[in-house]
Each structure stands twice: as structure tokens, then as C-alpha cells.
Structure 1
């Protein structure tokens, strides 16, 4: 394959535009002898004659015009590559894979992606619904670039592998069966529910969040049923099978149960954005993170 030299092709292209070696040298901030030398080397690389003497100047040969026809397509593609690369460096283009637990998808991720499509249409976000407990495994294996997880407490910096940022403090309400004795009480405290049968996940962040909130109220919750999906949890509460803590993200859409705000206890879960440490410097990832932060801030 012929060894094409972009720098030398650019000189030939400029000569075709400017007409003389002297004008070409001025345009490219070179000496006329350097221009002539580069074009001689290009002719040798391509194995064709590019210039012919014409009076006191030179003219391009048919072979040179053939080369330039193809060169224009090459330079056009390089211009597009430069523009796309500039957009990438500015965070205006790129692909970002986001893993998020089910309730975060409609309430945080979808609005953030919609805002990005409006302001930065070159950024393509691929959403993967995940369990909050698997977020860090997905980050570690490179399956996602950014993950939304849950925590019972504000995230620290103990794990050097990840950068973790609190997006939202999501209040927890309590879901009671419609005929529960406390359904019409003026005030419901978490401690009032110490003797209840509780419904929550068997493991992972949500189990820790429920246990942590109840322990802060002075009791260990008696787990009657284990479920990870809110449809199942709320159906069991509605059927009188137990009570459950429900995040505000979910309670706003819950039906069939009595939802009470725990104003005295004010239990909270933390929605956390996690990235591999250093990944936040990638422009497109930074754009997605900022969109998520803005969406979360709008919910406060």
C-alpha cells in the first residue's frame, strides 16, 4: 500500500490553491526550498510526477490532480474526525453506560437523559436496570461507567477504587395496611411499629437501610416476608401481611396502602452515584453525572 503523508498532501493542496511555490511557502510559514523538497519527497513516495515546469513557475500534472481528488475526501474525513474529537474532549459526544436500581430509572435517570438529549445530543446514554447491591461489581468489571446505588448512611472515602457522590437524601415513609390501628393516628413514630411484622429485602442495601432505621428507633425489625420489588412489597402490605418502609420516590406512586410520614424519626436513604475513581474526569461521564445531580437537586 502506498505510504500517504498527510503533511505533504496538505502542501500539495495548498499549492493547488495558491498557484506558486512562493505563495504556498508564505501560507504555510515555510521556505520555498522546503516546500519544493517536501513535494519532491511526496512524488517519490507516490511514484508519480506531481509538478511540471511552466515558464518561471510550475503546474500540477494530471497525476497530481488525481491525487488531490482523493485527498479532498481524506481531508474532509479528517475535519469530521477533528470536530468529533473536539466534541468528545468538550463532553459533547460519547457513550456512557449507566446502571441504576429500578426506582431511580424513572425518577432520576430518564429525566437526566432527556435533559442531556436536549443540551448535548451527541452523548448517548445506555441504561441498564440493576439491583443496587450489584452496582459496584458492575463498575469493577467495566460493565457500566456510572452506577446508582443506595446507602443507609452518607458514603465515605474508604474504598479507593470508587468515587461516590450523594445525589439525593430520599425520606422514608411507612406503608401500613388500610385498616391498621395507626392508619388514622395523629402522629406515627417508627418506635410505635416495633412489634409489627416487617417486609423488606433479605440482603443488600435495602435490608441494611430498613434495619438501620429501625435500630435508630430502638428496636430490631421482625422480618415476616422478604421481597425486593415494590409491587410485591406493597401488595403484601395492602393484604395486611406486614408493614414496610417505603422511599418517597416510591410512595408518591403507591396505591392501596396507608402511607404515613415519619416526621419525628425522619429516616432517610441515600441515593449514591458511584464511578471508578478517576472516571469522573472523562468529559461525557462528567456531563451525565452533572445531569443526574441537577435532576436530583430539582426534586428537593
Structure 2
């Protein structure tokens, strides 16, 4: 296969446009002898004569014109590559893989992706739903570029692998059956539900958050039923089987469930984004983080 040299092809192209070696040298800020030497080397590399003398001038051979016809496609593709690289450097292009826990996907990640389509259409976001704790394992392994998780599941700030970015303090509301005596009360506190059966997962972050909120209010919750998914939890609340804490970000809506904002002992769960150390400066990642922060502000 012939040896192609982009720089020498550019010199040949300029000679076609300027017609003389002297004019080509001036345009490229080279000496005429350097131009001649580069074109002689190109001819040798390609194995065909590229120039022929005509008086005191040189003319391109048919082989040279054939070479340039194909080279134009190469130059066009390189121009596109330059444009895409410039867009990448400005954060207007690139791919960012995001791992996010289930309720964060519709509440934060999807709105961020929608906003990016309008402001940075060249940035592709690939979303992977994952549990809160697993998000950091995927990030550390290089399987994702950005994690959206819960601060309770995050590594400590001293962990040298990650940079944490606070996104949202998500209030926890109380889910009650519609016919519950406190469903229409003027004010509701967690302590008012101390004797109720509670519905939450048997383990994991939501179990820890529910137990922690109740204990902070002065009692240990009695787990009446165990469920991890919000559909199951709200269905049991609707059936009068117990009460539950539900993050406002879930946007829970069910006909037989009343969502009450707690007037005291109001607990929150804290949502954070994380990237590997140093990665926050990558333009595309920086753009996705900004979109997530904006989505979090709108949610709050």
C-alpha cells in the first residue's frame, strides 16, 4: 500500500491552486526548495510521478490529479474531525455515562437530558439505573462517568477516588390511607405515628433512612410489612396496612393515599452526584453536572 502523508498532500493541493512552486512556498511559509523536496518525497512514497516540467513552470500529472481527487475526501473528513474535536473541547459534544438510583432517573436525570438536548445536542447521555450503593462501584470500575446517589450511601469526603457534588435535600412526606384519622389533621408529626405499623424495606438505604428518621423523632418504628418498590409500598398504604415515609422526589400519586408534609421532625434524604477525581473538569461531564444541578433546583 502506498504511504500517504497529509502534510505533503496539502502542499500538492496548494500547488494546484497557486500554480507555481514560489507562490506555493509563500502561501505555506516555506522555501521553494523545501516545497520541491516535499513533493519529490511524496512522489517517491506513492510510486508515481506527480509533476512534469513545462518551461520554467511545473504542471500536475494525471496521477497527481487522481491523488488529489481522493485526497479531497480525506481533507473533508479531517475538517469534520477538527470541528467535532473543537465541539468536544467546548463541552458541546461527547458521551457521558450516568448511573442513577431509580427515583432519581425520572426526577433528575431525564429532565437534565431534555435540557441538554436543547443546549448541548452533541452531548450523548447514556443512563444506567442502579441501586444507590452500587453506583459508586460502577463509577470506580470505569463503567460509568457520573453517579447520582444518596449521600447516606456515599463514600466519605476523604475518599481519594471521587469528587462529590450536592444536588438536593429531598423532603420525606408521610403516606397515610385516605381514611386515616390524621389524614386531615391540622399538623402531623412523626411521633404521632409511633404506634402504627410501618412499611419499608428489610434492609438497604431506605430501611436505614426510615429507621433513622423515626428514631430521631423519639421512637423505633414497628415494621408491619417489608417492600422495596414504591408501587408496592403505596398499594399497602392505600389498603390500610400501614404508613410509610415517601421521598417527595418520587412524586407519589395514588387515589387512596394522602401525602402529608410533616410539620415537625421533618426528615430529608440528601442526593449527590459523584465523579472520579479530576473528571469534573471534562467539558461534557461539566455540562451534565450543570444540567443535573438545574434539574435539582427546579425539583426543590
TM-score band, normalised by shorter chain: over 0.9
Which has the higher mean CA deviation after the structures are superposed, 45-54 or 131-140? 131-140
Structure 2 unaligned runs (5+)? none
Unmatched segments (≥5 aa) in structure 1: none
Aligned to 1:258: 258
Q: Which deviates more from structure 2 when the two are superposed, residues 77-86 or residues 137-146?
A: 137-146
Q: 1:96 maps to what in 2?
A: 96
Match of 2:245 in 1: 245
Root-mean-square deviation over aligned CA pairs? 1.8
Distance 2:276 2:215 in 1: 32
Q: Which residue of 1 aligns with 2:114?
A: 114
Query: Contact conserved, 1:154 with 1:166, CA < 8 A, in 2?
Result: no
Question: How many Å apart are 1:88 and its aligned residue?
Answer: 1.3
Q: Residue deviations 1:165-187, cap 9 Å, x none? A: 11111111111122223223221
Q: Is the 8 A contact 2:194 2:220 kept in 1?
A: yes
Bigger CA drift: 181-190 or 168-177?
Answer: 181-190
| 1:165–1:272 CA contact under 8 A, matched in 2 | yes
Q: TM-score, normalised by structure 1?
A: 0.94
Once the two structures are TM-superposed, the CA of residue 156 in structure 1 deviates from its matched residue by: 4.8
- Cα distance change, pair 153–171 in 1 and its aligned pair in 2 (3 A): farther
Separation (CA, whole Å) in 2 of partners of 1:102 and 1:108: 10
Task: Please say if residues 49 and 61 of structure 2, whose CA atoms lie closer than 8 Å, have aligned partners that are also in contact.
Answer: yes
Cα shift readout 1:101-133 (whole Å, capped 9, x = no counterpart): 222222211111111111111111122222223
Please name the residue that 1:183 is paired with.
183
Change (3 A) 1:250 1:263: same
* Greater mean deviation of Cα atoms: 22-31 or 99-108: 99-108
Q: Would you say 1:296 and 2:270 are equivalent positions?
A: no
Kindly state the Cα deviation for residue 155 of structure 1 after the two structures are TM-superposed.
7.6
In the alignment of these two chains, the number of paired residues is 300
- 1:273 corresponding residue in structure 2: 273
Name the CA distance, whole Å, in 1 between partners of 2:279 and 2:177.
45
Change (3 A) 1:166 1:154: farther
Give the secondary structure class of the aligned counterpart of 2:178.
Answer: coil
Contact 2:116 2:123 (C-alpha < 8 Å) held by counterparts: yes
Match of 1:65 in 2: 65
249-258 vs 41-50, greater mean Cα deviation: 249-258
The equivalent residue for 2:149 is: 149
The CA distance in 1 between the partners of 2:164 and 2:144, in whole Å, is 15
Larger displacement relative to structure 2 (134-143 or 290-299): 134-143
CA–CA distance in structure 2, aligned partners of residues 204 and 61 of structure 1: 75
Which is further off, 24-33 or 90-99? 90-99
1:281 deviates by 2.1
Q: Distance in 2 between matches of 1:164 and 1:254?
A: 34
Q: What is aligned with 1:2? A: 2
Flag the 1:258–1:155 CA change in 2: closer, same or farther, 3 A.
farther
The equivalent of 1:229 in structure 2 is 229
Partner residue, 1:75: 75
**Contact 2:209 2:269 (C-alpha < 8 Å) held by counterparts:** yes
Q: Quick check: 1:44 aligned with 2:44?
A: yes
Task: Report the Cα distance in structure 2 between the residues aligned to 1:256 and 1:145, rounded to whole angstroms.
Answer: 40
After superposition, the Cα gap between the structure-2 partners of 1:214 and 1:155, relative to the gap in structure 1 and judged at 3 Å, is farther
